[in-house]
């Protein structure tokens, strides 16, 4: 552990923030040619059926093929999922350009995420002991992998579900005019949120290895975790998005409990009582009566 003054901490923080800003700029430059690809991937729910719709059609077709009588009684009549193509609209002259800048920023953040984690770790490293600094070799790759898995989970399952649910409100009296900026902002905000949600097990494992939290503490605070999950999800207006956010957050908390149980700091063996640790002193041997003293 390295002792640093308050001003030295501020200087170290300033240096790490400068490195992070430079990494973001480089990440944006690398991500700029990838913006059209990312934008097409974000807008896929507007032109393609979701994974859940495809799974539902495959399952209904399997039931219809294997159990035709039961499917007929249940009224199962699978039809290929179809989505009426939708287009985004914009109303400001430079709106598409600023949206591209925003997408390149978030994509650059994802590309520079391992370096950002490394800088955060370097800032915290002086406060750690030598045997605790070795966790960086697990922190960087696993943290990056969990962030990517959170984003893929959102884009493949949650995002198409939210968009398909929203488009179901269309009717002959109601049609959608999805704005480009609002659509992209909503998606990017949830992308960051789900990437951070999937970091929760790793963060709690590190805290468990450092002895800050343990399994009993996490298990006792399940109700608080459920409440905080609902509070974080409540910042989104529609009920479906709230549920789609609250369930993964609390699910990651439960996974964190099992992860800390398996990979956290092992419990110390109970120390024996002091009476058992120190053997009682042997009593002096009494001399038989009438024995003459030794010369």
> What is the spatial distance between Cα 263 and Cα 203, in angstroms, rounded to a whole number?
12
- pLDDT value, residue 97: 92
3 state DSSP class of 283: coil
d(CA 168, CA 159): 15
Local structure of residue 129 (DSSP, 8 states) = -
Mean of pLDDT values over 159-175 = 82
Query: pTM of the entire structure?
Result: 0.71
pLDDT of residue 98: 92
Q: What is the pLDDT of residues 74-120, one digit of tens each?
A: 777 777 777 778 888 888 888 999 999 999 988 898 888 888 888 88
Which residues does residue 211 pair with via DSSP β-bridges, in sequence order?
Answer: none
Per-residue confidence at 19, pLDDT binned at 50, 70, 90? very high
Expressed in angstroms, the distance from the first to the final Cα of the chain is 64
Q: How confident is the model at residue 135 (pLDDT cuts 50, 70, 90)?
A: low
Contacts 24+ apart (CB under 8 A), 71-74: none
Residue 132 near residue 207, CB atoms below 8 Å: no
Mean pLDDT, residues 213-223 taken together: 87
What integer is the mean pLDDT of 215-221?
Answer: 88
pLDDT value of residue 24: 92
pLDDT confidence of residue 58: 81
Nearest to 155 by CA among 108, 194, 123: 194
Instruction: Tell me the pLDDT tens digit for each residue of 20-61.
Output: 999 999 999 999 999 988 888 888 888 887 777 777 778 778
C-beta of residue 143 within 8 angstroms of C-beta of residue 203 = no
Contact of 227 with 213, CB cutoff 8 Å: no
Q: What is the pLDDT of residue 295?
A: 47
Distances (CA, A) of 75 to 64, 70, 78, 261: 10, 9, 9, 47
């Amino acid at each position: 552990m390295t002792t640093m003054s308050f001003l030295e901490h501020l200087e170290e923080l300033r240096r790490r923030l400068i490195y992070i800003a430079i990494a973001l700029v480089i990440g944006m430059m690398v991500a700029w040619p990838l913006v059209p690809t990312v934008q097409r991937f974000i807008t896929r729910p507007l032109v393609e059926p979701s994974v859940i719709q495809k799974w539902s059609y495959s399952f209904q077709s399997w039931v219809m093929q294997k159990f035709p009588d039961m499917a007929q009684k249940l009224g199962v009549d699978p039809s290929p999922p179809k989505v009426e193509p939708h287009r985004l609209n914009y109303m400001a002259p430079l709106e598409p350009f600023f949206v591209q800048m925003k997408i390149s920023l978030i994509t650059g953040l994802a590309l520079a995420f391992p370096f950002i984690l490394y800088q955060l770790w370097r800032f915290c490293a002086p406060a750690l002991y030598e045997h605790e600094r070795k966790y960086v070799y697990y922190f960087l790759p696993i943290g990056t992998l969990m962030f990517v898995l959170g984003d893929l989970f959102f884009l493949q399952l949650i995002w198409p579900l939210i968009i398909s649910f929203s488009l179901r409100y269309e009717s002959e009296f109601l049609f959608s005019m999805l704005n480009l900026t609002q659509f992209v902002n909503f998606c990017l905000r949830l992308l960051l949120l789900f990437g951070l949600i999937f970091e929760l097990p790793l963060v709690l494992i590190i805290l468990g290895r450092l002895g800050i939290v343990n399994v009993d503490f996490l298990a006792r605070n399940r109700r608080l975790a459920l409440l905080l999950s609902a509070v974080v999800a409540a910042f989104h207006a529609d009920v479906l998005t709230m549920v789609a956010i609250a369930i993964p957050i609390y699910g990651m908390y439960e996974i964190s409990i099992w992860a800390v149980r398996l990979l956290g700091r092992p419990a110390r063996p109970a120390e024996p009582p002091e009476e058992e640790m120190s053997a009682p002193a042997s009593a002096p041997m009494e001399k038989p009566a009438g024995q003459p003293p030794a010369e």
